[in-house]
Structure 1
Amino acid sequence: MIRWAGFNRFLPWRASRWPAILCCSAVLAAAGCQKFNLGGSAVIKKGSNVKMHYTLTVDGQVMDSSTGREPLAFVQGSGQIIPGLEAALEGLKTGEKKQVTVAPEQGYGVRDDRAIQKVPKTAFDNAAGLKVGSVVSGQAGNRPFQAVVTAISAKEITLDLNHPLAGKTLNFAIEIVEVKGS
C-alpha cells in the first residue's frame, strides 16, 4: 500500500468519508431508487403527475388554450389526454417548452362517414328551434353524446357524431409547469 501524505489535499472530502458514502449509496439502491437526478427536475414518464400550459391551434386558428387559467393537470400514461400529445411529452422536464404536431390518427381520429346519422324530427323536443350548426346532446343507451346538426329536412335531422376535431392536424404549443412522482 502506498501512502502519500499530500493526497487528501486534492480531494474535497476526506478519504475517511468513503465508507459513509458507499453505505448511503447501498441504502438508496436497496430502497429501489431507480433514477437519481442530481441536478434537475423530474422527467415525465408513465405515472408522473404533470401540469402544463398549452395552446391548441388548427389551421392557424386557436381552438383552446390554458392561458389565463390553471394549467392542465393529468397523469402521464393514463389516457387522460390524446395519444399523440401524451407520447410527445415523454422525457420532458419542468420548464421545458415544445411545439407538438399531432396527426388525426393520434388525435381525435379520422372522420368516419358512419358517424353521420339521420334521426326523425319526432325524436327531438325542440326540433323547431334547431338550426344547421346547432350542437345537440343526447344519450344512446347509457352513453352520452354530442352531435352537430348538419342538415334539416321536413321529417329528419342529420347529425354528425364525429368529434369536431376529427380529421384535423392538431398543433400544440406546450410548457411543462410541474412534474411529480411516477
Structure 2
Amino acid sequence: MIAGQNSVVLMDYTVKDDEGNLIDTSAGQDPLAFILGMGNIIPGLERAFIGKKKGDSFQVRVKPEEGYGERDEALVEVVPRTQFSGIKDLRPGMQLQAQTDDEVMVVTVVKLTDREVTVDANHPLAGKTLNFDVAVVDVRTATQEELAHGHVHGVGGHHH
C-alpha cells in the first residue's frame, strides 16, 4: 500500500540536530504510528511520507518553520519566585504547566535566583533544523474508529 491521506504509517526513526546531536530515536521501542494528514507529527516530516510504502527508507531535513517553529523571545519571561512556592526542588530544565488567561502551556525553567524564575514557553526544539533518518515499517488504511479519534490504536499508537 502507498501512503496517502488517512493512511496509518508506522515508522522507525532517528532525529538529530545540525550539529549531529541525537534528539530522539525509536530504536529499541515499538515503531511510531500516526495517521497521515491528521497533523499527528510535524508538517515537514508528515509530507515526506506521501507516496512511500513499507520498506522505504529515506532522510528528510525539516526547517524550523516546518517543524516546531522559530524561537520567540517574547515567550521567555521572568516571574517572581513566589509564584512557584508550592513546587519543591525547582531547578533549571524542569518543565511545568502554566495557566494563562486563554490556555495551559508548558514552560521550561531556564534560570533561578532567590527572587525570580526565568521560564521559556518555546517548544524545546523551536528554532532547530531537524534531520530525520526514517524507515517505513508498515502502511495500512486507518479504521473508522481511528479516523474518528484522530489517532492510531494498537501497536505504536494509543491503547484504550
**TM-score, structure 2 normalization:** 0.80
**Distance apart, 1:149 and its partner CA:** 1.6
Query: Which residue of the partner structure matches residue 90 of structure 1?
Result: 50
| Aligned mates of 2:62, 2:135 — CA distance in 1 | 16
Q: Which residue of 1 aligns with 2:7?
A: 48
| 1:74 corresponds to 2:34 | yes
Structure 2 counterpart of 1:12: none
Whether 1:172 aligns to 2:132 is yes
Instruction: Report whether the alignment pairs 1:63 with 2:23.
Output: yes
Q: Which amino acid aligns with 2:5?
A: K
Aligned length: 141
Which residue number corresponds to residue 104 of structure 1?
64
CA distance in 1, matches of 2:99, 2:140: 37
- Provide the alpha-carbon RMSD of the alignment: 1.8
CA radius of gyration, larger in: 1
Which segments of 5 or more consecutive residues in structure 1 lack a partner in the other structure? 1-41
Residue 87 of structure 1 aligns to a residue in which SS?
helix
C-alpha displacement at 1:118, in angstroms?
1.7
Report which stretch shifted further, 134-143 or 166-175.
Answer: 134-143
Q: Higher helix share goes to which structure?
A: 1
Q: Where does residue 21 of structure 1 map in the other structure?
A: none
How far does the alpha carbon of each residue in 1:103-160 deviate from its partner, in whole angstroms, 9 at most, with x for none?
A: 0000000000111112221111356732333333333357333222222234221101
Query: 2: distance between equivalents of 1:68 and 1:132?
Result: 29
Higher RCO, 1 vs 2 (CA within 8 Å, ≥6 residues apart): 2
> What is the SS of the residue equivalent to 2:137?
strand
TM-score normalised by structure 1 residue count: 0.71
Q: Which amino acid aligns with 2:83?
A: A
Cα distance in 1 for partners of 2:100, 2:57 equals 41
